[in-house]
């Protein structure tokens, strides 16, 4: 009972911060939408007609760009030849389930689900950061993540909220040595986002580390066991979980569209992400050095600047522990390379080791940290206004 009370007390401060942030966030945003300036609805209609010439995709200020594809999938499912097939099924399924409670209103369901999932994910992030580095670092990490420009998508009908929740579940489960719980999150991640298949990298690292530590233990030295259940069957299930999730995705697409690879074929509509980009290093370097706009779908200087920030933080991340470099590669480097930095401001918001490392750094440099958060909030606000005006945000 005492442990439950302590646990609840540990969540009180971050819960107050995140809840107040979200309430204030939407109060100010709705006030601005209704009271200041014209929302460019014509642009929204044009974009909707481009992606949904047969109808079925309706843009609103709170559901623009990718949101409308997720809403379409939640309501209609996958259709052969649709650009929406490029998106993964777990998030639309979550919206569809929550819509049962909202009278079939998928927009309200999506907003509720996104904010509920992100609330839980942020609390888990804070709590585990507190256990690892203390309360001061955890508060810094939470504020850094909340203010980060790409974190705006945690509040809207995007898959980021669910993806972050699954990542937090996998991170905590691996660190605490629960193979079956880790396998559960590892299975779901490829159903949420394409990069989820690369959850096999941190999983393999944790299993490999446990094996090496146990093998090196001998004689009077205590045997090191990373997982509470180190039975080969449990570890095999954990290692296979992302592949099983990816296989489920292919079966799902095959049933829905008749073609298991319809999602990959739909990527041609976007002409950005390609698995072949991961080993095309010259293209990656050239893309990094050739921004063509301040912020747009391709060529964004903002996306590239934030990637350089990530590179600068790699030594700080390494000091947290070598496993955090694996997480950073999965969540940050791979999306940057596969998509040639397109939407990187959004993808970088998932790189939790970045915010943990920056928190450790800024707790010793308070003024610099406050300046960083202030700049992040300004950029965040600009991108939010772009988002509700159907302009590019990420």
Q: What is the pLDDT of residue 269?
A: 82
Mean pLDDT over each residue of the chain, to the nearest integer: 88
Q: What is the pLDDT of residue 270?
A: 77
Q: Could you identify the residue written with the tokens 């302009």?
A: 391
Instruction: Compute the half-sphere exposure of residue 285: CA atoms within 13 Å on the CB side of its CA.
Output: 4
pLDDT, tens digit, for every residue of 290-318? 899 999 988 999 999 999 999 999 999 99
DSSP string, 3-60: HHHHHHHHHHHHHHHHHHHHHHHHHHHHHHHHHSS---HHHHHHHHHHH-TTS----B
Q: What is the DSSP letter of 332?
A: I
Residues 173 and 185: beta-carbon distance below 8 Å: yes
Phi, psi angles (nearest 5°) of residue 317: -65, -40
pLDDT, tens digit, for every residue of 112-121? 999 999 999 9
pLDDT, tens digit, for every residue of 196-245? 999 999 999 998 887 776 666 544 444 444 666 667 788 889 999 999 99
């Amino acid at each position: 009972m005492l442990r439950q009370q302590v646990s609840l007390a540990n969540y009180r401060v971050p819960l107050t911060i995140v809840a107040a942030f979200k309430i204030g966030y939407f109060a100010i945003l709705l006030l601005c939408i209704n009271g200041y300036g014209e929302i460019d609805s014509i642009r929204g209609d044009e974009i909707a007609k481009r992606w949904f010439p047969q109808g079925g995709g309706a843009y609103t200020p709170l559901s623009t760009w990718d949101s409308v594809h997720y809403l379409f999938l939640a309501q209609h499912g996958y259709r052969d030849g649709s650009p929406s097939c490029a998106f993964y099924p777990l998030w639309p399924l979550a919206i569809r389930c929550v819509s049962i409670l909202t009278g079939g209103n998928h927009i309200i369901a999506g907003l509720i689900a996104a904010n509920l999932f992100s609330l839980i994910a942020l609390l888990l992030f804070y709590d585990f950061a507190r256990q690892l580095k203390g309360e001061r670092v955890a508060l810094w990490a939470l504020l850094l993540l909340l203010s980060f420009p790409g974190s705006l998508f945690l509040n809207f009908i995007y898959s980021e909220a669910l993806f972050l929740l699954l990542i937090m579940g996998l991170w905590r489960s691996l660190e605490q040595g629960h193979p079956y719980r880790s396998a559960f999150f590892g299975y779901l991640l490829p159903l949420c986002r394409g990069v989820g298949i690369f959850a096999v990298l941190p999983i393999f690292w944790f299993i490999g580390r446990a094996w090496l530590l146990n093998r090196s233990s001998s004689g009077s030295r205590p045997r090191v066991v990373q997982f509470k259940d180190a039975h080969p069957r449990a570890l095999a299930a954990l290692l296979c979980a992302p592949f099983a999730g990816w296989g489920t995705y292919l079966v799902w697409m095959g049933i829905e569209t008749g073609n298991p690879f319809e999602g990959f074929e739909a990527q041609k509509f976007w002409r950005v992400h390609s698995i072949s980009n991961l080993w095309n290093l010259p293209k990656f370097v050239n893309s990094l050095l050739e921004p063509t706009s301040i912020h747009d779908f391709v060529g964004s200087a903002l996306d590239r600047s934030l990637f350089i920030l990530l590179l600068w933080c790699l030594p700080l991340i390494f000091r947290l522990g070598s496993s955090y470099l694996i997480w950073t590669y999965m969540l940050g480097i791979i999306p940057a390379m596969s998509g040639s930095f397109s939407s990187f401001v959004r993808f970088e918001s998932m790189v939790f080791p970045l915010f943990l490392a920056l928190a450790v750094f800024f707790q010793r440099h308070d003024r610099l940290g406050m300046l960083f958060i202030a700049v992040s909030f300004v950029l965040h606000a600009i991108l939010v206004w772009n988002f509700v005006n159907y302009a590019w945000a990420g």
